[in-house]
Amino acid sequence: MTAAIDAINFATLDTEPFYLPIGDEVALFEAAYAARLPVLLKGPTGCGKTRFIEHMAWRLYRQRRKALEVPLVTISCHEDLTATDLVGRYLLKGDETLWSDGPLTRAVRTGAICYLDEIVEARKDTTVLIHSLTDHRRILPIDKTGELVSAHGDFLLVISYNPGYQSILKDLKHSTRQRFVSLDFDYPGREREAEIIAREAHVDESLAERLAVIGEKVRNLGEHGFEEGVSTRLLIYAAQLIRNGIEARRAADIALVAAVSDDRTVQAALADIVDTVLPATDP
Amino acid sequence: MTAAIDAINFATLDTEPFYLPIGDEVALFEAAYAARLPVLLKGPTGCGKTRFIEHMAWRLYRQRRKALEVPLVTISCHEDLTATDLVGRYLLKGDETLWSDGPLTRAVRTGAICYLDEIVEARKDTTVLIHSLTDHRRILPIDKTGELVSAHGDFLLVISYNPGYQSILKDLKHSTRQRFVSLDFDYPGREREAEIIAREAHVDESLAERLAVIGEKVRNLGEHGFEEGVSTRLLIYAAQLIRNGIEARRAADIALVAAVSDDRTVQAALADIVDTVLPATDP
Amino acid sequence: MTAAIDAINFATLDTEPFYLPIGDEVALFEAAYAARLPVLLKGPTGCGKTRFIEHMAWRLYRQRRKALEVPLVTISCHEDLTATDLVGRYLLKGDETLWSDGPLTRAVRTGAICYLDEIVEARKDTTVLIHSLTDHRRILPIDKTGELVSAHGDFLLVISYNPGYQSILKDLKHSTRQRFVSLDFDYPGREREAEIIAREAHVDESLAERLAVIGEKVRNLGEHGFEEGVSTRLLIYAAQLIRNGIEARRAADIALVAAVSDDRTVQAALADIVDTVLPATDP
Amino acid sequence: MTAAIDAINFATLDTEPFYLPIGDEVALFEAAYAARLPVLLKGPTGCGKTRFIEHMAWRLYRQRRKALEVPLVTISCHEDLTATDLVGRYLLKGDETLWSDGPLTRAVRTGAICYLDEIVEARKDTTVLIHSLTDHRRILPIDKTGELVSAHGDFLLVISYNPGYQSILKDLKHSTRQRFVSLDFDYPGREREAEIIAREAHVDESLAERLAVIGEKVRNLGEHGFEEGVSTRLLIYAAQLIRNGIEARRAADIALVAAVSDDRTVQAALADIVDTVLPATDP
Amino acid sequence: MTAAIDAINFATLDTEPFYLPIGDEVALFEAAYAARLPVLLKGPTGCGKTRFIEHMAWRLYRQRRKALEVPLVTISCHEDLTATDLVGRYLLKGDETLWSDGPLTRAVRTGAICYLDEIVEARKDTTVLIHSLTDHRRILPIDKTGELVSAHGDFLLVISYNPGYQSILKDLKHSTRQRFVSLDFDYPGREREAEIIAREAHVDESLAERLAVIGEKVRNLGEHGFEEGVSTRLLIYAAQLIRNGIEARRAADIALVAAVSDDRTVQAALADIVDTVLPATDP
Amino acid sequence: MTAAIDAINFATLDTEPFYLPIGDEVALFEAAYAARLPVLLKGPTGCGKTRFIEHMAWRLYRQRRKALEVPLVTISCHEDLTATDLVGRYLLKGDETLWSDGPLTRAVRTGAICYLDEIVEARKDTTVLIHSLTDHRRILPIDKTGELVSAHGDFLLVISYNPGYQSILKDLKHSTRQRFVSLDFDYPGREREAEIIAREAHVDESLAERLAVIGEKVRNLGEHGFEEGVSTRLLIYAAQLIRNGIEARRAADIALVAAVSDDRTVQAALADIVDTVLPATDP
């Protein structure tokens, strides 16, 4: 098994990651970081949790560190992710057996923020691993080498999960959950979302506004039986297709209607919204 | 476990792969490719999704690349396909341990289209792997080497699935699904299908037309309890058997009636259609 | 896990494998082979599918190949059969790591018929492997070596399954099934079966005829709740025991009645048939 | 996993294994062996199937072979028994990789009888392995070496199972079952059992007779809900305890009553039988 | 799999671990230790079991040992924790194969307290391992080396579990349970908890008292369907956020209301308590 | 997986292991050993089965063997215990591959008693392994080396299980069970238990007597829904705590009431018994 790890080296970024706050989440995160309290981000798919954590890493580390080292390690959890993937393993290189730190260990040693995305998808042994990093001990034991790594003063553990998904089988254990401060996320409001669409897809404000209206209306469709609304990402896709010459309703068809669900009833409800909001074009 | 991978090297092809469009799918795919939006192909077995993607790779890369390198990597997913199969592994060769890129990594580095056929059959860790390739990051992290591979500008990820099959256990996660523009596929209409049969099996138009009629009628049999109609491929098989001297109804028996189902009621319904459309021959 | 593989080298055979056709299956198979259409053999246990495919390999290759190489590779599938077993693996020999082709790869390279017996018993990754061998591509990708093996012009894939067995969990996927022409097999009629029994067990026609009558009557017992009739093989066993001095009814007891089922009711029904057909001998 | 294998070398035996026939099983087995028909032994625990096969191996091989090599290989099947355990594996010895035949392969090569005890307990891949050994082919393919081992002329495959046990999940597949002649076994009658007890435990005929009566009565208790009667082995245990000074009823208590079941009702029924048949001794 | 192990070396601590007793648990543990009786700690998440065992290790070893070696080994159990992880394994280092003691073995040899946290989460083979350490034998057998390690005189095994969690599938076996003296733990009373909050978060007594009142009220909410009350740790988090400038109710929102549950009803009940106890601040 | 093995070398013991017989079990075991009949010990947790077998090994081997070698091998079975753990494995040491006997093999070769504690917990392949050791053959086949080890004349196999526990899934197979003489064990009567408590905990007879009364009364509580009574071990724990200064009822609280169950009703019933039997002490 391999861990899907995305360690962003800020030295390679020359601009601040774009993030449009939707409430007081920036201040709350800064206070939690000041006290080094572990943070849990809750919210639906594609509402900007990954962007937020990239943005916060930038804010918190830009001034703290002159030499821009690796301050953020993102790990997408899945059911085959093991403790070994996170902590590290011995690798055979030629005649030697060398220890290779895993991404969590690298974050603990260097004082990065370690972001475990969709933590409940991971295997249970990974969950247990983080316990000693999230209480007064702040240590990571490495069984295979016998080393006890005390966390760098800048280290913080952040996890996310999506309450809409969780089955009983895959809920977060209380003994894990009660180690985190929780920040709730949701899709941005209409105006903010229009601003994001216009900026990301390079389309005019009028089109962006219409697509944001579609997003808002679809998310109010809760009673039609689909648990997740359309993500901001899909609205941006629709805008990009339009900018590349696809007729607006057709673009919404393939980026929104067909992408969100296979259920014909749900698709019809979405198509109605699209028809109402987007103008028909002459064939 | 091994990955079943089919990397087509266009340098070995001297003619364009045959594909008869059934709608605006070529234009839509070109617009998605222009914006590098990941694409999901939905549709039943044997309706031409693999042909379509081969055709599009040809269209998009023929002019772009003088030296015809490997622009398409097709991977048939199955439940034993792991992230390691896709990303790569260390191989022992003599005294050395050498890293060997997997097919997804090769596609990411060389800017090929990577086509994951029947994605929902794969193990979950493979699904997570593609997340960072399908958002603003466009990177593939290789845990074992510590490398972060930024996708070549030409790279695009395309996946397919068959909505008729999906059980609740094997549905695409929302957090994966909402990363793709969706193109719906279906069997071609009667005339187009006749054209395909005639071309592929080298039979005359009259026979091809009759077989296409059978295909159309069978697919309208939805109420008899089989979820998939007969594929175009099976109609071509019937034509080929006839061209090789098998009596028409007998050829339809073994290529269509017996091939589609073991259910006697379903077989009888198919046989009725065959009898109506194909002429009896004197014994 | 190991693959149970039976590769028959015709160079070691000096006579044609005996097979008594029960219909037009020989002509149908020859037409399918002429167009290189993959073939699915459907039918119950012990009705002669393995014999048929040996016979067809003999017919099709005898003239085609002067030097009689290995033209038939039979693989009995089971739930631990993996893609690696079929395709091949690296073996350590002394200091070297050598690639060793699996039986499917050998068949693909040398143009043999590859017969996968009871395909639905195999693991799913094996099923996916055969997809690219059964459409217009006719290639076998070998992931571990990076090789794409184009099938030899003589290669054909043949699979079998037994519709009486299949549970919902172990049915053939539509996307696999719709790649094959289907030939139905069943037990031979009374006269043909008597001919086979006489020939294989070296018994006289009268005894062979009586045993064939038993076979026919048992297979008509469908309403007594056993899904498979008695196989021709068991009738031959009974004949062989009689030829070795066992009294006829006692031979039928142990070769037929006790061998087919443990259910006392079913056994009684079979015993009645045996008593009716075979003469009692004085003790 | 390891295979529990018991290969008896007759060269180390100087007397015929004791077996008291209960019917025509010796003649039937000899006829089956003469035609090399695979044999299935059906019957309850401890009724003498293992003894019978040892006896038959002695009978069939004593004269046939001057030098008494290994003519019987007994393999107790269990759910972790794999095809590799039966066929063989590569072993690393110093710098060399040597092939080591498994017990089935040794039996096939040397012409031994191979006895697979409780075949339904084995993994499915082992069941498939024996198919090509039990039809006209009589070969054992060894995938890892590429060798096809033709069975020695003396080789015979014998399997056993206990119909009282079989759950639906662990039944013998029809395609396996219809490859064997079936011999039914049961516990011996009262007189024969008394003879066996007297001989094996070195007790007098009167005590042996009483214990055999207990055995007979217990087996008639079928309506009290235990599927297996008491085995002859346990009756011999009781006799041995008595010969070693334990009071008769107490010996029956621990060797029969407590050994057969934990159910108090069943134990009471057994104790009643013991009290009736065995005389009380003064304390 | 790796064991998450936290071996605290007291040589690196210069102050006594803070622990505020809630009853006679210190005296009871000292008596159990005096007789070397294994101890089971029962109680909910975050009520101070880990702190207690650190405190007891300090008390019991401070005077006993001049050189402060490793007197406490804490192991967080999880479902992938194997006996090998606890006992040790052979490691390949260069040309040599060296045995490496696992954490349990190190504790047994050096006379440390070994604390297995949430024992029921571990695999069953680990549970069996501790049997011979918790009866008159006090030995740890190491199968792989053949060594029998007699426990150092100071060694004691301590385990914990949380009765609120245990499902039937994950209960402690009677044969394990009846080897331990049991100490019940619960959250501290209001006054003691206020003292702990004030001390740990460096906030004034008035705020600490209010947060402790919230803790007490939430734990009385048992009838609202959440099995675990809020932990002391979360109350400290709230205090820390307030000290870092977050408005009191908002801090309680993210550290208590959102952290304890995703259930809107439960959250509303908690928010009511927070509103009652904490003063509103002007915006 | 590792086997938890406890091989007691009597050479290191200078006194007879204490065991107080509760019936004729010593004589019965000696008779079974004289005839080398395998023995099954049935009884609840902590009633002295392990002590009994240690005692019997001492009795039977003390005179038989001048040099006190390893006459008893105890193996605690669990669900990850494999046949390899019992029989042995190849170990790599430097350049050589050396065979290392497992504990069962060592017992078979040296003529020890091998005691498999809680046999039904082990994997099925271990159960099959012991079949050939418990019938007339008395051999242990070692598949990996091809060796057939004939048991030393002194060898005896003893197994235990706890009828109170067994689920249908984990019952002993009839074909295994009917190979053993069965000895029933239970907790000792009041007087004997008081004698044991006084001796083991070094407390006076009056206290020991009261604790034994508690044990007796608790075991009569069967109708309150807990299947196992309190073990003698826990009564000794209570006595030891009292001797170390804990007030009597408090000692009974933590060693008996809280240790036996988490069920409040059951605990109340136990507490009532404790209050009745033990005198209250002034605070």
Instruction: Return the higher-pLDDT residue of B165 and F158.
Output: F158
Quick one: pLDDT at residue E67? 46
Residues of C whose CB is below 8 A from D135: 50, 233
Query: What is the pTM for the complete model shown?
Result: 0.72
Say if the Cβ atoms of E128 and F77 lie within 8 Å.
yes
Tell me how far apart the alpha carbons of residues D179 and D184 are, in angstroms, rounded to a whole number. 16
Tell me how far apart the alpha carbons of residues D231 and E253 are, in angstroms, rounded to a whole number. 71
Cα distance from C156 to chain D (closest Cα, Å)? 21
Cβ contact C–A (≥3 pairs, < 8 Å): no
Name the residue with tokens 């019940």: E184
3-state secondary structure of B52: helix
Q: Which segment of C68-77, C210-219, E99-108, E128-137 scores lowest on mean pLDDT?
A: C68-77
Taken in order D126, D131, D134, D139, is the CA torsion positive or negative?
A: negative
With helix as H, strand as E and coil as C, how does chain E read? CCCEEEEECHHHCCCCCCCCCCCCHHHHHHHHHHCCCCEEEECCCCCCHHHHHHHHHHHHHHCCCCCCCCCEEEEECCCCCCHHHHHEEEEEECCEEEEEECHHHHHHHHCCEEEEECHHHCCHHHHHHCHHHCCCCCEEEECCCCEEEECCCCCEEEEEECCCCCCHHHCCCHHHHCCCEEEECCCCCHHHHHHHHHHHHCCCHHHHHHHHHHHHHHHCCHHHCCCCCCCHHHHHHHHHHHHCCCCHHHHHHHHHHHHHCCCHHHHHHHHHHHHHHCCCCCC
Query: Please, are residues D169 and D121 in contact by the beta-carbon 8 Å criterion?
Result: no
Going from the C-alpha of C192 to that of each of C49, C195, C198, E133, the distances in angstroms are 15, 5, 10, 73
Instruction: Return the higher-pLDDT residue of B234 and A146.
Output: B234
Q: Which of D227, D225, D199, D214 is nearest to D253 (CA)?
A: D214
Quick one: pLDDT at residue C226? 56
Quick one: pLDDT at residue C3? 37
Quick one: pLDDT at residue D65? 63
Least CB–CB distance from A177: residue in E4, E227, E259: E259
Tell me how far apart the alpha carbons of residues A74 and A86 are, in angstroms, rounded to a whole number. 11
Tell me how far apart the alpha carbons of residues D256 and F182 are, in angstroms, rounded to a whole number. 8
Q: What is the pLDDT of residues E214-233, one digit of tens each?
A: 999 998 886 555 556 788 99
Residues of F whose CB is below 8 A from E173: 165
Q: What is the pLDDT of residues D56-77, one digit of tens each?
A: 988 888 766 654 554 788 888 8
Tell me how far apart the alpha carbons of residues A255 and A260 are, in angstroms, rounded to a whole number. 8
Contacts 24+ apart (CB under 8 A), C104-107: C104/C73, C104/C75, C104/C129, C104/C140, C105/C140, C105/C142, C105/C149, C106/C7, C106/C70, C106/C73, C107/C73, C107/C155
Residues of A whose CB is below 8 A from E2: 82-84, 87, 125, 129, 142-144
Q: What is the DSSP letter of B253?
A: I
Going from the C-alpha of F27 to that of each of D22, E6, E183, F55, F186, the distances in angstroms are 37, 51, 42, 13, 17
Residues of E whose CB is below 8 A from F4: 83, 125, 128-129, 131-132, 141, 143
Quick one: pLDDT at residue B5? 43
Tell me how far apart the alpha carbons of residues E111 and E117 are, in angstroms, rounded to a whole number. 18
Edge to edge, the sheet with strand B113-117 lists B4-8, B72-76, B113-117, B156-161, B39-42, B181-184
- How many residues are recorded in chain A? 283
Residues of F whose CB is below 8 A from D250: 24, 28
Name the residue with tokens 């939430």: E218
3-state secondary structure of A82: coil
**% of chain C with per-residue pLDDT over 70:** 81
Cβ contact B–E (≥3 pairs, < 8 Å): no
Quick one: pLDDT at residue D8? 45
Tell me how far apart the alpha carbons of residues F55 and D3 are, in angstroms, rounded to a whole number. 34
pLDDT of residue D201 exceeding 70, the answer is yes
Tell me how far apart the alpha carbons of residues A256 and A242 are, in angstroms, rounded to a whole number. 13
Q: Which residue type is seen at E197?
A: I
Cα distance from B267 to chain A (closest Cα, Å)? 29
Tell me how far apart the alpha carbons of residues B74 and B106 are, in angstroms, rounded to a whole number. 12
Least CB–CB distance from B2: residue in C27, C84, C132: C84
For D86-99, what is the mean pLDDT?
72
pLDDT of residue E247 exceeding 90, the answer is yes
pLDDT-based confidence at residue E99 (cuts at 50, 70, 90): confident
Q: What is the dihedral of CA C11, C15, C20, C21, to 10 degrees?
A: 50
CA atoms within 13 A on the CB side of E211: 36
Q: Which segment of C51-55, E42-46, E161-165, E238-242 scores lowest on mean pLDDT?
A: E161-165
Q: What is the DSSP secondary-structure string of B58-120?
A: HHHHHTT-SS----EEEEE--TT--HHHHHEEEEEETTEEEEEE-HHHHHHHHT-EEEEETGG
Q: What is the mean pLDDT of chain E?
A: 81
E4 bridge partner residues:
E76
Q: Which of B38, B132, B129 is nearest to A255 (CA)?
A: B38
**Residue E80 in tokens:** 């992938």
Say if the Cβ atoms of D128 and C76 lie within 8 Å.
yes
Q: Which of C158, C109, C91, C116 is nearest to C3 (CA)?
A: C116
Instruction: Return the higher-pLDDT residue of A53 and E123.
Output: A53
Least CA distance to E138: which residue of chain F?
Answer: F6
φ/ψ of D68, rounded to 5, equals -80, 90
CA-atom Rg of chain B in angstroms: 21
With helix as H, strand as E and coil as C, how does B107-151 read? HHHHCCEEEEECHHHCCHHHHHHCHHHCCCCCEEEECCCCEEEEC
Q: Which of F23, F16, F74 is nearest to F183 (CA)?
A: F23
Q: Which residues of chain A register pLDDT less than 70?
A: 1-15, 63-70, 80, 91-97, 124-125, 146, 164-171, 222-228, 281-283
Tell me how far apart the alpha carbons of residues E188 and C89 are, in angstroms, rounded to a whole number. 62
Q: What is the DSSP letter of A137?
A: T
Q: What is the pLDDT of residues E15-71, one digit of tens each?
A: 677 788 888 999 999 999 999 999 999 988 778 888 899 889 888 887 666 545 548
Residues of A whose CB is below 8 A from E230: 178
pLDDT-based confidence at residue C6 (cuts at 50, 70, 90): very low
Number of Cβ pairs < 8 A linking chain A and chain B: 121
φ/ψ of E45, rounded to 5, equals -55, 135
Q: What is the pLDDT of residues B145-164, one digit of tens each?
A: 767 799 999 999 999 988 76
Neighbouring chains of D at 3+ CB pairs under 8 Å are C, F
Say if the Cβ atoms of A124 and E79 lie within 8 Å.
yes
pLDDT of residue B60 exceeding 80, the answer is yes
Quick one: pLDDT at residue E118? 82
3-state secondary structure of A104: helix
Residues of B whose CB is below 8 A from A230: 178
pLDDT of residue E143 exceeding 80, the answer is no
Name the residue with tokens 């591509």: C137
Q: What is the mean pLDDT of chain C?
A: 81
Q: Which residues of chain F register pLDDT less than 50?
A: 1-13, 67, 70, 166-169, 283
Our measurement of the distance from residue E43's CA atom to the centroid of its chain's CA atoms, rounded to an integer in Å, reads: 9
Least CA distance to E81: which residue of chain F?
Answer: F1
Quick one: pLDDT at residue F249? 93
pLDDT of residue D3 exceeding 60, the answer is no
Other Cβ atoms closer than 10 A to A206: 9
Q: Counting Cβ atoms within 10 Å, is residue A276 exposed (0-12), middle (13-18) or buried (19+)? A: exposed
**Residue F190 in tokens:** 């009041």
Q: What is the mean pLDDT of chain B?
A: 81
Least CB–CB distance from B32: residue in A76, A241, A262: A241
Other Cβ atoms closer than 10 A to D70: 18
How does F5-39 read in b/e, with b if 16+ C-beta sit within 10 Å? bbbbebeeeeeebebeebeebeebbbbbbebebbb
For B156-183, what is the mean pLDDT?
77
Cα distance from B231 to chain A (closest Cα, Å)? 21
Q: Which of E158, E208, E189 is nearest to E49 (CA)?
A: E158
φ/ψ of B138, rounded to 5, equals 45, 50
Tell me how far apart the alpha carbons of residues A208 and E219 are, in angstroms, rounded to a whole number. 48
Q: What is the DSSP letter of A244?
A: T
Say if the Cβ atoms of C258 and D184 lie within 8 Å.
yes
**% of chain D with per-residue pLDDT over 70:** 81
Q: What is the pLDDT of residues B202-226, one digit of tens each?
A: 999 999 999 999 999 998 876 555 5
Name the residue with tokens 């794409």: C148
